[in-house]
Amino acid sequence: MRILVVEDDRLNRAELRAILARMGHQVLLAGNGEEGVALFMQELPDMVLMDVLMPVMDGYEAVRQIKRHSGDVGQFIPVIFLTSLTDDAELARCVEYGGDDFLSKPYNYTLIKAKVDAFDRIHALYGMLARQKQELERHQGKLENEIKLARHVFNAVISKQPKNINCLRQWMYPVGHFSGDLLVYERSPGGQLYVMLGDFTGHGLAAALGAIPVSDIFFSMTKKGFCLADIAAEINRKLHYLLPTGHFCAACLISIDGVRKRVEVWNGSLPPVLVIDAEGRITRKILSTKLPLGVVGGADFDRHPEVIPLSDVHSLLLYSDGLIEAQNSSGQQFNMTGLDHAVHAAGSAAAVFDAVKDGITKFMDGHEAHDDISLLELQCEGLSGELMDGVTEGPSGTLATAWSLELRLGVGTLRKIDPLPVLMNWLVQTKLSEGQRIHVYTVLSELVNNAVEHGLLELDSSKKATFDGFESYYTKRNELLEKLAQGHVSIRLEQSPVVGGRLIKMRVEDSGQGFDVDKVYSMLDDNKEKFGRGIALARSMCSTLVYKGNGNTVEAEYRG
Amino acid sequence: MAQVSVSASNGEMTIRVAGRFDFNVHKEFRAAYEQTLGGGSVPAKYIIDFGATEYIDSSALGMLLMLRERAGKGAHIVIVHCNQEIKDILGISNFNKLFNIE
pLDDT of residue A232: 95
pLDDT of residue A468: 63
Q: Does residue A449 register a pLDDT over 90?
A: no
If we measure between CA atoms, which residue out of A241, A288, A235, A250 comes closest to residue A266?
Answer: A288
Q: What angle do CA A83, A89, A94 make, to 5 degrees?
A: 45
**What's the average model confidence in pLDDT over A484-491?**
91
**What's the average model confidence in pLDDT over A46-61?**
88
- Please report whether residue A215 resides in a domain: yes
Q: Are residue A244 and residue A166 in the same domain, yes or no? A: yes
Residue B92 and residue A321: Cβ atoms within 8 Å?
A: yes
Instruction: Express as a percent the part of chain A with pLDDT over 70.
Output: 91
pLDDT of residue A282: 94
Pairs of residues, one from chain A and one from chain B, whose beta carbons lie less than 8 Å apart = 49
Banded pLDDT at A475 (limits 50, 70, 90): confident
**How many angstroms away from the CA of B10 is the closest CA of chain A?**
28
Q: Are residue A311 and residue A186 in the same domain, yes or no? A: yes
pLDDT of residue A470: 66
Radius of gyration of chain A from Cα atoms? 39
CATH code, domain with A258: 3.60.40.10
Q: Measured between beta carbons, which residues in chain A are less than 8 angstroms from residue B101? A: none
What average pLDDT is seen over chain A? 85
Residue A201 and residue B98: Cβ atoms within 8 Å?
A: no
- Please report whether residue A303 resides in a domain: yes
Name the more confident of A466 and A159: A159
**What's the average model confidence in pLDDT over A464-473?**
64
**Which positions 34-73 of B are in contact with A (Cβ < 8 Å)?**
57-59, 61-63, 65-66, 68-69
Residue B92 and residue A269: Cβ atoms within 8 Å?
A: yes
Q: Are residue A374 and residue A414 in the same domain, yes or no? A: no
Q: Determine contact, residues B100/B76, Cβ cutoff 8 Å.
A: yes
Q: Does residue B7 register a pLDDT over 80?
A: yes
Of B23, B68, B94, the CB nearest to A291: B94
Q: Determine contact, residues B19/B54, Cβ cutoff 8 Å.
A: yes
Residues A509 and A536: their CA atoms lie apart, in Å, by 18
- Mind listing the pLDDT tens digit for each residue in B33-45? 888 877 778 888 9
If we measure between CA atoms, which residue out of A375, A290, A365 comes closest to residue A331?
Answer: A365
Q: Are residue A77 and residue A32 in the same domain, yes or no? A: yes
Kind plus residue range of the DSSP H or E element containing B17? strand B12-21
Q: Which residues have C-beta within 8 Å of that of residue A389, sequence separation ≥ 6? A: none
- Please report whether residue A356 resides in a domain: yes
Banded pLDDT at A527 (limits 50, 70, 90): low
**What's the average model confidence in pLDDT over A238-243?**
91
If we measure between CA atoms, which residue out of A302, A304, A339, A342 comes closest to residue A319?
Answer: A339
**What's the average model confidence in pLDDT over A52-76?**
84
Burial A360-374 (b: 16+ CB within 10 A, else e): beebbeeeebebbbb
Name the more confident of A551 and A293: A293
Q: Does residue B14 register a pLDDT over 70?
A: yes
Q: Measured between beta carbons, which residues in chain A are less than 8 angstroms from residue B65? A: 245-246, 248, 295
Residue B59 and residue A291: Cβ atoms within 8 Å?
A: no
Q: Does residue A530 register a pLDDT over 50?
A: no
Range of lowest pLDDT (A72-81, A156-165, A533-542): A156-165
Instruction: Express as a percent the part of chain B with pLDDT over 70.
Output: 99
**What's the average model confidence in pLDDT over A408-433?**
83
- Please report whether residue A203 resides in a domain: yes
Residue-number span of the structural domain to which B88 is assigned: 3-101
User: Could you give the number of structural domains in chain B?
Assistant: 1
Q: Does residue B53 register a pLDDT over 60?
A: yes
Q: How many CA atoms lie within 13 A of B21 on its CB side?
A: 31
Residue B65 and residue A246: Cβ atoms within 8 Å?
A: yes
Q: Are residue A165 and residue A309 in the same domain, yes or no? A: yes
**How many angstroms away from the CA of B13 is the closest CA of chain A?**
21
Banded pLDDT at B11 (limits 50, 70, 90): confident
Hey, is the C-beta of A291 within 8 angstroms of any chain B C-beta? yes
Q: Measured between beta carbons, which residues in chain A are less than 8 angstroms from residue B57? A: 371
Share of chain B residues as helix, strand and coil, in percent rounded to the nearest 5: 40, 30, 30
- Mind listing the pLDDT tens digit for each residue in A214-235? 988 999 899 888 889 989 999 9
Residues A263 and A63: their CA atoms lie apart, in Å, by 80
Q: Does residue A489 register a pLDDT over 90?
A: yes
**What's the average model confidence in pLDDT over A468-472?**
68
Backbone angles phi, psi at A282, to 5 degrees: -80, 115
Which of A148-157, A265-274, A424-433 holds the top average pLDDT? A265-274
Residue A245 and residue B93: Cβ atoms within 8 Å?
A: no
CATH code, domain with A541: 3.30.565.10
**Which positions 381-420 of A are in contact with B (Cβ < 8 Å)?**
none
Of B62, B66, B93, the CB nearest to A291: B93
> Nearest residue of A to residue B61 by CA position?
A246
Residue B92 and residue A199: Cβ atoms within 8 Å?
A: no
Pairing of strands A544-548, B12-21: unpaired
- Mind listing the pLDDT tens digit for each residue in A382-416? 877 777 665 555 444 556 778 888 889 998 888 88
Q: Does residue A363 register a pLDDT over 90?
A: yes
Bridge partners for A198 per DSSP: A182, A251
**What's the average model confidence in pLDDT over A77-98?**
82
Of A202, A271, A290, the CB nearest to B59: A202
- Mind listing the pLDDT tens digit for each residue in A314-350? 999 999 988 998 989 888 889 999 999 999 999 899 9
Q: Determine contact, residues A345/A281, Cβ cutoff 8 Å.
A: no
Q: Are residue A481 and residue A529 in the same domain, yes or no? A: yes
Hey, is the C-beta of A246 within 8 angstroms of any chain B C-beta? yes
Query: What are the Cα distances from residue A68, in Å, to A63, A77, A163, A392, A406?
Result: 8, 11, 59, 75, 88
Radius of gyration of chain B from Cα atoms? 13
When scoring A200, A287, A291, A327 by the number of chain B Cβ atoms within 10 A, the one with the most, hence best to mutate, is A291
pLDDT of residue B74: 75
Q: Which of these three, A389, A424, A458, is where a domain ends?
A: A389
At position A379, the amino acid (one-letter code) is Q
**What's the average model confidence in pLDDT over A121-128?**
86
Hey, is the C-beta of A321 within 8 angstroms of any chain B C-beta? yes
- Please report whether residue A49 resides in a domain: yes
Q: Measured between beta carbons, which residues in chain B are less than 8 angstroms from residue A201? A: 58-59, 61-62
Pairing of strands B45-49, B3-9: unpaired
ipTM exceeding 0.95, yes/no:
no
- Please report whether residue A69 resides in a domain: yes
Bridge partners for B45 per DSSP: B12, B76
Q: Which of these three, A350, A366, A389, is where a domain ends?
A: A389
Q: Determine contact, residues A85/A41, Cβ cutoff 8 Å.
A: no
- Please report whether residue A336 resides in a domain: yes
- Mind listing the pLDDT tens digit for each residue in A173-193? 877 666 678 889 988 877 789
User: Could you give the number of structural domains in chain A?
Assistant: 3
Residues A235 and A216: their CA atoms lie apart, in Å, by 9
CATH code, domain with B74: 3.30.750.24
Backbone angles phi, psi at A293, to 5 degrees: -70, 135
Q: Measured between beta carbons, which residues in chain A are less than 8 angstroms from residue B94? A: 268-269, 288-291
Q: Which residues have C-beta within 8 Å of that of residue A11, sequence separation ≥ 6? A: none
Q: Does residue A127 register a pLDDT over 50?
A: yes
pLDDT of residue A531: 46
CA torsion A80→A86→A90→A92, rounded to 10°? 60
- Please report whether residue A319 resides in a domain: yes
Q: Are residue A214 and residue A306 in the same domain, yes or no? A: yes
Residues A274 and A282: their CA atoms lie apart, in Å, by 6
**What's the average model confidence in pLDDT over B43-69?**
89
Q: Where are the beta strands (DSSP E) in A259-371?
A: 262-268, 273-276, 282-286, 306-309, 315-319
Kind plus residue range of the DSSP H or E element containing A133? helix A109-158
Hey, is the C-beta of A247 within 8 angstroms of any chain B C-beta? yes
Residue-number span of the structural domain to which A421 is assigned: 403-559
Residue A246 and residue B57: Cβ atoms within 8 Å?
A: no
Name the more confident of A266 and A450: A266
Q: Are residue A326 and residue A456 in the same domain, yes or no? A: no
